[in-house]
Structure 1
Amino acid sequence: MQPHLMPRRFYQWLKSRSLALSATDTRYAIAEASLIGVLSAIAALILKQGVGWLGGQRVALANQFGAMMVLPLGGLILGYLAGLLIETLSPTATGGGMTQVKAALARYRVPLSLRVALVKLIGTILVLGGGLTLGRRAPTVHIGAALAAQLSSWLPTSPEHRRQMIAAGAAAGLAAGFATPIAGVLFVIEELMRDASGLTLETALVASFTGAVVSQLLQLSTFNFPSSLLDLPDIAFYASEIPFYLLLGILAGLLGALFNRGLLLSVKIQKVLNLPLSWRIGLMGMVSGFIIANLPLFFRDNTGLRFIVLKGELQWHDILLAFVAHFFLTILAYSANTPGGLFGPALVLGSALGYLVGDFEEFLTGTGTESTYALAGMGAFFTAVVRVPVTAIVFVFELKTNFNIVLPLMVTCAVSYMVAEGVSRGSLYEHMLQARGIYINEGATGQDFLSKLTASQVMQSKVETLSSSLTLDEVLQAMSNSSHRGFPVLAEGQLVGIVTQNDLAKLKKVPGFTPLWEFMTRKPITVQSEASLSDVLYLLNRYQLSRLPVTEGNKLVGIITRTDIIRVEANQLQGDDTTINEMVPDPSYITYQTRAPLTGEGRILLPLINPETATSMFKIGAAIAQEQNQEMECLQVITIPKHSDPAQTPVITQHNRQLLQRIERLARQDNISVHTQIRVAHDRAQAILDTIRERHINLMVLEWSPKNHLPGTIFGPVVDLLIRKAPCELVLVKLGPEEETYPEALDKDTTWLVPVAGGPNAKLAIELLPGLTQLYTRPRSPIIWLCQVFSPHKPTPSYQSLEVEAKQLKAQLERPVIPLPIRSQSVADAIIHLAESETCDVVMLGVSRESLLVQVMQGNVAKTIAQKVKSTVILVRGRLED
């Protein structure tokens, strides 16, 4: 949910709250963790009931109409629907969900939201109800984490607090699924987060316990846990049985490692086949249904089968068949990235293996306690797959609550862990993340240097402020004399508000004597001086701010901006602990490139930011390249976290390469020499500047979208920086709605509006017209309105120069050019009105770097035109002088 969808008063209240009242209040965190536990328990129950009902319907239909028809067809249809749902609404909801949660806790930008939770819930019900041999507990972990992330996004919290809530949601999800609250906490600490700090442990414990209790209450109508969640015969352990438990640990370690390798291999095979997710899951459901239809009857009900295996109600040959079938059916189902988990299958496989070893002991010695072997096998196989021996021991103990099982569990889990690590190091989830190009440095999952620095260490203590008693005219005068675009407002030494140029731009016909307190932003978001830098960065991003006042109580002690944080990060990466040095750009790294013949007289850079508009942007760049006989350099930038090294961080470039290959095909059709490259960088703008410098770029064609605008910037942080620093000529393009959606819309008859006001940039814009107008096909040539806005206060403006320029341009372009003088007090209003009244398709004007970035009260002229004109707008800025 976005802030504008929340009740306005409530949202304003949240914005006015100090960070210290929420993000660092333990009571607040505990209350939130309790709510997360309740929500996770409800989701787990819905998932359980949904899978049970749909699976029961499938079995009933199979008994009525024949398993050979119903099971494969049901698996195909339900699997296809689940895949289609995930593809359409939330691609992040694939798989068991453990990898997504682990990556999110490692500070990777993995989407976790209410949408992910709902899609995961429905998708899991469909695939498990359709008969695929997977579990529902891992999805409950994913759902719990997603619900926690959504709840945290609605409240003003810090990044560390949000991360701890996600961990609490994961613990609550596992606890609600198995009713094992302690194991839920241990799993988060041992595998997902590996952080046992005070608040993490407290919130995880509260959420886990709440989830388990609410789950039991909803199912049993009592607060009391049953004495044994897994009803098995008496458990016993004898020293003479230790060799058989060692054997069980060895077998579990070997088979668990083999199981993991089979899962990873199957996922790689599916990637090679490259089928859509819906067809992958549907086909795996159909194949699973066909196999199960040919197995004994007890295989048709997954829940019933697992209960029978866990209870040991089968003969040894049936248990062996169940183990083999479950082993391969789970690999088959998981290979399609199906929304289902491995916890349930791992426990079933472990219990089956334990029963087989117990039967073997009984065959040799005539004695043995099969139930004990089954429980020990569950922990051992679970350990071999997930590599969390402590969690496995506590988990199985909580299921049975019998201390006689602890020693067998410790023996088998320890041996299983050592054997599995000897065969293949690392847990399955680590390998799955690495297959996606995510390498988690466990040392980096703790607090980074942003959490160790405070606002007082980085802030600017000398702050330009304004008094609340000033008038609008006095505020405008103060802003015109300063390089800052926002000022804290003080009254009697206390911070009472903040005023920015955005506030002034919203004023319409307001008298100059209006007092500042009437139009300033009251109760601005602030941070306390002891707040961590990660909290500051979170608030800047969350509320799209460019600056934050730093306070002690209500007293202003400094101000901190994005630039200050960037400078600190750059200094830290260099090993410099000071915060006053000039920012040193982070280097970018080329991970993929192609080179074409060097046939052009210059080179045009085209950063491809939006794949949906890449074709339209390429056509614009290609038109200029053909007219000026230049080559093109197409660039894709992959950004990575600040703590990662661009030269050593593996990334997935498949989609980026596909886009660049599509551009290369278009270039061959137009006979244009195109080079391509993919760069890995911390900062997109810096990667573009590196490319300009290294590839000797003459001109850059850059897309701008109003959707990406951030408060406190003109065109957005990346575009603003490139306007200021890119030394080459710059063509800034805002595509109209037709060109943005349908690239072929460029190929039509058009009307161009070209405002001129003299100067080198206006001339450069006119020089680019011959190439750009070639974008549009005949039979009717584009009509060009060459307009100039004159002040109404001039008694007799001279129109002669405009007419001469129009005549010269007409002869050069060999198409209609109409001179159009306009008298107006506002240049922007005149151009916008003319563009709308004449339905101009393209507005193109030359502007300087200063006019692109300097705002006045009415708003920046170029930006205002680009925002309010609905058609395509092209802004041209010349080369920067050294």
Structure 2
Amino acid sequence: MTDFLPTTPATSTPSPPSEISAPKIRSHRHFSIAAPLSEERFFLVLAVFIGIFSGLAVVCFRLAIDWTRIGLLGPAPEPHSLRVLLAPFLGGLLVAVLVIHFFPLVRGSGVNQTKAALYIFNGYIPFRTAVGKFITAAIAIGSGHSLGPEDPSLQIGASIASALGRRMDFSRDKLRLLAPIGAAAGLAAAFNAPISAVLFVIEEVIGRWSAGILGSVVLAAISSVVVVRGFLGTQPLFRIPPLTVFRPGELLAYIVLGVIGGFGAVIFAKAIGYLRPRLRRLPASTQYLQPALAGLLIGAIGYLGEPQVMGAGYEYIDQAMHDQFTWKLLLVFAGLKILATTLSFVSGTPGGMFAPALFVGAMLGGAVGGVERHFYPHLTGTTGTYALVGVGVLFAGFLRAPMTS
């Protein structure tokens, strides 16, 4: 089981940060608990338990986000409401205090941090990171910051798997195998879609197909989704619209959508890449204000009339797929979502990029479909079909995960 992932030479492995300098993991050749089972079967059984625990954690995470959102913003954010203006500011300020003083390793989305733990620290992710990510991301997303719950769920699942491995005194090599298993479980629970989670973890976290660990990854993902559906129901994040038969005349429109989506992904990534290092060079004292000021700007967008860009925005993706907005409004939503998400992410606010990428893709796709239907009504399918394709285009371009999309 130790050859399923690329190995990192022991001489080049740096020491973990001070927060994760826990007692050294003892290296055992065999697990005493696994004596009656073969090692492969034991990992499959363990994967089921990782999926169950990760699913329970994500259920609590999603409920925490919903309760925070309802408590701070109300059932539905309304323009010209002081709650909409101030909630992201106050949420950002509280998150900054928690990150700086209690959970310094929870910044970012969680995907790159999980990859770093896998390849640099041999799969070691402190359980404190899962707790901190849970608390700070729930506050940030629930208060209206333009981020999503999927990436934090991935990191929470990986942290739970790492904690179980340490509890069982796994060797470092075997501990490395658990991080992608937990990551798949957490992401599957957040997406309510095990296949997409498995593909993303293999494509982005592991970086290559690994037959030896694939069975455990699939089992963990399925187990977590079963738990989530048992508690929260089988309702998907958004409803897939009725799909129309492809017409050859639409090919040009889909090409245009691909080009526009590619430019949108580049603008999104460039904005983050430009602002993030510049904000990091500011004095340390400004770290308290960066998430709060980002929240104030996002709150201002909502206050002035576009609260749809606040939070993950899945309900608005659903509405875009069912032709609830004009194409001009869809373009406005896409541009403001890029702005709001960039502000949230570069300020160091914990939260994910999956949901914003899906949101922007749906809006751009729906806008392209709306324009074509306006000028060439006899050539085009439904706007919802274009919105669905746009989701895949942005996901592939921005997150660089074409197989998952």
TM-score interval, smaller chain: 0.7 to 0.9
Name the counterpart of 2:258: 249
Distance 1:312 1:45 in 2: 30
Helix, strand or coil for the counterpart of 1:389? Answer: coil
2:216 to 183, 187, 203: 203
Helix, strand or coil for the counterpart of 1:93? Answer: coil
Name the counterpart of 2:175: 162
Distance 1:76 1:228 in 2: 27
Q: Is residue 237 of structure 1 aligned with residue 246 of structure 2? A: yes
Q: 1:126 to 1:189 in 2, by over 3 A?
A: same
TM-score (norm 1): 0.40
Higher strand share: 1
1:474-506 residue CA offsets vs partner (Å, 9 max, x unmatched): xxxxxxxxxxxxxxxxxxxxxxxxxxxxxxxxx
Helix, strand or coil for the counterpart of 2:359? Answer: helix
Counterpart residue identity of residue 369, structure 2: G
Name the counterpart of 2:140: 127
Alpha-carbon shift at residue 187 of structure 1 (Å): 0.8
Alpha-carbon shift at residue 212 of structure 1 (Å): 1.4
Q: 1:234 to 1:84 in 2, by over 3 A?
A: same
Counterpart residue identity of residue 365, structure 2: G
Trace 1:456-467 onto structure 2 (pairs within 5 A). Answer: none
Trace 1:191-590 onto structure 2 (pairs within 5 A). Answer: 191-220=204-233, 230-276=239-285, 277-296=287-306, 298=308, 302-366=313-377, 367-392=380-405
CA contact (8 A) 2:155 2:186 kept: yes
1:11-69 residue CA offsets vs partner (Å, 9 max, x unmatched): xxx989752655971121112111111111112111211111211222239979x8453
Q: Is residue 48 of structure 1 aligned with residue 62 of structure 2? A: yes
1:219-269 residue CA offsets vs partner (Å, 9 max, x unmatched): 12xxxx669962423343222211111111111111101211111112112
1:614-663 residue CA offsets vs partner (Å, 9 max, x unmatched): xxxxxxxxxxxxxxxxxxxxxxxxxxxxxxxxxxxxxxxxxxxxxxxxxx
Distance 1:108 1:206 in 2: 25
Alpha-carbon shift at residue 86 of structure 1 (Å): 2.0
Helix, strand or coil for the counterpart of 1:101? Answer: helix
Counterpart residue identity of residue 302, structure 2: I
Higher helix share: 2
1:791-837 residue CA offsets vs partner (Å, 9 max, x unmatched): xxxxxxxxxxxxxxxxxxxxxxxxxxxxxxxxxxxxxxxxxxxxxxx
2:53 to 29, 35, 39: 39
Q: Is residue 82 of structure 1 aligned with residue 95 of structure 2? A: yes
Distance 2:183 2:402 in 1: 18
CA contact (8 A) 1:59 1:300 kept: no
CA contact (8 A) 2:103 2:129 kept: yes
Q: 1:370 to 1:59 in 2, by over 3 A?
A: same
Helix, strand or coil for the counterpart of 1:171? Answer: helix
CA contact (8 A) 2:118 2:176 kept: yes
Distance 2:306 2:340 in 1: 15
Counterpart residue identity of residue 390, structure 1: M
Mind listing any 5+ residue stretches in structure 1 that lack a counterpart? 6-13, 393-882
Trace 1:89-104 onto structure 2 (pairs within 5 A). Answer: 89-104=102-117
Alpha-carbon shift at residue 274 of structure 1 (Å): 3.4
Name the counterpart of 2:120: 107
Distance 1:33 1:238 in 2: 44
Q: 1:199 to 1:110 in 2, by over 3 A?
A: closer
Q: 1:15 to 1:62 in 2, by over 3 A?
A: closer
Q: 1:168 to 1:360 in 2, by over 3 A?
A: same
Alpha-carbon shift at residue 107 of structure 1 (Å): 2.7
Trace 1:833-872 onto structure 2 (pairs within 5 A). Answer: none
Counterpart residue identity of residue 183, structure 1: S
Helix, strand or coil for the counterpart of 1:90? Answer: coil
Name the counterpart of 2:199: 186
Distance 1:206 1:62 in 2: 37
Counterpart residue identity of residue 90, structure 1: F
Distance 1:35 1:235 in 2: 41
Helix, strand or coil for the counterpart of 1:104? Answer: helix
TM-score (norm 2): 0.85
Trace 1:795-834 onto structure 2 (pairs within 5 A). Answer: none
Distance 2:364 2:121 in 1: 37
Alpha-carbon shift at residue 110 of structure 1 (Å): 7.9
Alpha-carbon shift at residue 299 of structure 1 (Å): 5.1
Helix, strand or coil for the counterpart of 1:92? Answer: coil
Counterpart residue identity of residue 294, structure 1: L
Alpha-carbon shift at residue 73 of structure 1 (Å): 2.5
Q: 1:270 to 1:300 in 2, by over 3 A?
A: closer
CA contact (8 A) 1:61 1:70 kept: no
Alpha-carbon shift at residue 90 of structure 1 (Å): 2.2
Alpha-carbon shift at residue 164 of structure 1 (Å): 1.5
Helix, strand or coil for the counterpart of 2:169? Answer: coil
CA contact (8 A) 1:71 1:286 kept: no
Q: 1:155 to 1:239 in 2, by over 3 A?
A: same
Counterpart residue identity of residue 212, structure 2: L
Q: 1:17 to 1:165 in 2, by over 3 A?
A: closer
Mind listing any 5+ residue stretches in structure 2 that lack a counterpart? 1-19
Instruction: Tell me the matched-pair count.
Output: 377
Alpha-carbon shift at residue 75 of structure 1 (Å): 1.7
Larger C-alpha radius of gyration, 1 or 2? 1
CA contact (8 A) 1:41 1:173 kept: yes
Alpha-carbon shift at residue 310 of structure 1 (Å): 4.1
2:44 to 20, 23, 30: 30
CA contact (8 A) 2:159 2:179 kept: yes
CA contact (8 A) 2:146 2:310 kept: no
Alpha-carbon shift at residue 309 of structure 1 (Å): 3.1
Name the counterpart of 1:573: none
1:494-543 residue CA offsets vs partner (Å, 9 max, x unmatched): xxxxxxxxxxxxxxxxxxxxxxxxxxxxxxxxxxxxxxxxxxxxxxxxxx
Counterpart residue identity of residue 213, structure 1: V
Distance 1:70 1:78 in 2: 11
Q: 1:35 to 1:361 in 2, by over 3 A?
A: same
Distance 2:395 2:73 in 1: 28
Identity over the aligned pairs, expressed in percent? Answer: 28
Counterpart residue identity of residue 282, structure 1: A
Alpha-carbon shift at residue 275 of structure 1 (Å): 4.0
